[in-house]
Amino acid sequence: MAAARPILGRVLPGSSILFLCDMQEKFRHNIAYFPQIVSVAARMLKVARLLEVPVLLTEQYPQGLGPTVPELGAEGLRPLTKTCFSMVPALQQELDSRPQLRSVLLCGIEAQACILNTTLDLLDRGLQVHVVVDACSSRSQVDRLVALARMRQSGAFLSTSEGLILQLVGDAAHPQFKEIQKLIKEPAPDSGLLGLFQGQNPLLH
């Protein structure tokens, strides 16, 4: 009997979607590496627009937590408001209307709350989840680390922004590659990941 083929986690523009979760004003001074996280998420948004990958944006209780920060560059996107610690209930209709959807690229905050619960809900729907590790954070780096490990245990893929961008574009001959190359010419800013991943970290083995 042949062994089951492993799920490779390939991402293609025509079957992918970008989720941007709750990058709002009130979190600005509380989330570790917030400017760096938003910068990387903004890079993912620019690439999604160039490759015509759909994008969905949420805001958690904006009356209290404020609007999406302007540096994300999300002008033109209509944020869907929520109180649930998952994006999926608010985005249910959008997900149901996209039968071709296979992969969700997930950016935002907080890793142990809305990112984790969104991941679990999406996996439960049979979708592949790619957590953009350099575009997700928490107030606590312990919460961030354990949430990343938990999502990986549950079947999500942990990926960097550049790794996903290059998977999406696929070929240096792509007509948008030169524009995308400009976006990734400078490495993504340091968001503290080396400290989480270095050494013999049992949570990520």
- Positions marked active-site: 22, 82, 114
- Are 183 and 149 in contact by the 8 Å Cβ rule? The answer is no
Which residues, 6 or more positions from 165, have their beta carbon under 8 angstroms from its beta carbon?
Answer: 43, 44, 47, 180, 183, 184
Would you say how long the chain is, in residues? 205
User: Quick check: 91 and 56 in contact, CB under 8 A?
Assistant: yes
Residues 40 and 164: their CA atoms lie apart, in Å, by 12
Q: Kindly list the distances between the CA atom of residue 36 and the CA atoms of 23, 104, 141, in Å, as whole numbers in the listed order.
A: 12, 21, 14
> In 29-41, which positions are buried (b, 16+ CB within 10 angstroms) versus exposed (e)?
eebbbbebbbbbb
Determine the Cα–Cα distance for residues 71 and 134; give it in Å rounded to an integer.
16
